[in-house]
Structure 1
Amino acid sequence: MDRFWNWNQASDHRELTINGIIAKDSWINDDIAPQIFQAELNDGHGPIDLWINSPGGDCTAAGQIYTMLMEYPDDINVKISGIAASAASVIAMAGTTVSMAPPALMMIHNPLTIVGGQEQDLNKAAQMLAETKEAIINAYVLKTNLPREKISTMMDKQTWMNVNKAIQLGFADKMLGEDPNVTNCYSYSEPENQMVMLNKLQPTTKSTIPVKSLQKRLSLLSH
Structure 2
Amino acid sequence: MIKRQSLITQLENVEIYKKYPTLVPYVGENYTKAKNKLLIIAESHYFPKDSVVNFDTWYNAPYEKASLTDKQWKMITTANVLGKYKKKGNPLSSNIVESLFKVEWENAQDKDDVIRYVAFMNAFQRPAQYKESIKSCKLDIDYAQSTISRVIKILQPNIIAFVSKKAYYKCKSALPLTIPYFAVPHPSCCWWNRIMKKHGSGKEQFEAQLRKVINSPIEHIPVI
| TM, length-normalised to structure 2 | 0.29
Q: Which has the larger radius of gyration?
A: 1
Greater percentage in strand: 1
Larger RCO (CA under 8 A, 6+ residues apart): 2
